Amino acid sequence: MSLTHLLARIQPLDAESMSVARARQDVLTKPQGSLGRLEALSIQVAGITRQPRPKIQHKVVTVMAGDHGVVAEGVSAYPQEVTPQMVLNFLIGGAAINVLTRLVGARVIIVDMGVAVTMDPHPQLIVRKIAPGTANIATGPAMTRQQAEACLLAGAEIVEAEIANGLDLLATGDMGIGNTTPSAAIAAAVTGKSVREIAGRGTGVDDEGLKRKISAIERALQVNQPNPADGLDLLAKVGGFEIGGLAGAILAAAANHRPVVIDGFISTAAAIIAVTLNPQVKDYLIAAHTSQELGHRLMTEWLGLTPLLDLQMRLGEGTGAALAMSIIEASCKVLDEMATFGEAGVSEKE
């Protein structure tokens, strides 16, 4: 698979499927529009999947993990050792994302894209490590352009394999101490907003930690001068291996006509990378929730997305996306399983 070929496979939504879905929504046993965003969601999924009555049966959350050289700048409240520790927690089923995926009937795929240590082999761990953590973006590029492309293709190949196993709804999640820093750098570069408007407290840094974080991001942008119109350049200069993997996962889902539920701050940075590479991707995205992380709302606005939920969450891992999966599935079930006025023998309004 080449990146050029992957990007070329991403097509506009299917207008005919959306038209049929919209017409059916209008004759279901309810006042037109009374189910609000559930109706719009089902029509979007119809266009994405090319199915007028789409069915969501095989839900997958991919949690991609990577470490970041910028933690040397004191940007996180937690030490880097937490990244592999949390990956192990995912693998034993003890993290929030495990609890929520069990609730909504989704599978979790855990991927080591660039954890700084060598993880012990585990049957549920996919290892696609590009390198043991990125370089420090405050002093130079995170990775080479070749590594950036490798991230994207690794993420895409993982999703292609899951699609072959039946995936019909993808959600994105992340793990990586320090990863709100590169995500904020990506967002600031693309939106043109100041770092202070974008960067939040991440894992809960204090005031001094926040100052260090803002300074590190400002230096990263000044030193690297990422091109906001070039997704590969953005990823290589100020991104992260797990961010690139998630961006590739999003591209592969779009290329295969699958909807993508993006989680919070880091997943949205990955979505920005994907959309910068191919603007058509935007139509395949569903924003799960509004993160409490400061600049997230600016990021979803730049993408033209309105998140489904606002639960004051900022954990990551795909937790918000897992919760949103049930809403998306509900929207499709309403479209498919509700009776029409004619089928139910219910009188329509005159």
User: Contact, 115 vs 334, CB < 8 A?
Assistant: no
Q: With CA atoms as reference, report the closest residue to 86 among 105, 71, 58, 67.
A: 67
Query: What residues contact 276, with CB distance under 8 A and at least 6 apart?
Result: 190, 228, 229, 230, 231, 234
Q: Dihedral of CA 223/224/229/234: which sign?
A: negative
* Domains located in the chain, CATH noted: 3-54+334-344 (1.10.1610.10), 59-329 (3.40.50.10210)
**pLDDT tens digits, 245-258:** 999 999 999 999 99
Q: State how far the Cα of 307 lies from the Cα of 286, in Å rounded to an integer.
A: 7
Q: Phi first, then psi: what are they for 227, rounded to 5°?
A: -85, 110
pLDDT of residue 327: 98
Tokens for 242?
């797990």
pLDDT of residue 45: 98
Tokens for 347?
């009188």
Q: State how far the Cα of 220 lies from the Cα of 223, in Å rounded to an integer.
A: 5
Q: Kindly list the strands in the beta sheet with 285-287, ordered across the sheet, starting from the edge strand earlier in the chain.
A: 125-127, 106-114, 59-66, 169-175, 260-262, 285-287
Q: With CA atoms as reference, report the closest residue to 268 among 180, 328, 336.
A: 180
Q: State how far the Cα of 295 lies from the Cα of 315, in Å rounded to an integer.
A: 15
Q: Are strands 285-287 and 106-114 parallel, antiparallel or unpaired?
A: unpaired
Catalytic residue among 16, 317, 337, 343: 317
In terms of Cβ atoms closer than 10 Å to its own Cβ (0-12, 13-18, 19+), residue 226 is: buried
pLDDT of residue 12: 98
Establish whether 317 is a catalytic residue: yes
- Low-confidence stretches of the chain (pLDDT < 50) are none
User: Contact, 335 vs 53, CB < 8 A?
Assistant: yes
pLDDT of residue 261: 98
pLDDT of residue 203: 83
**pLDDT tens digits, 5-42:** 999 999 999 999 999 999 999 999 999 999 999 999 99
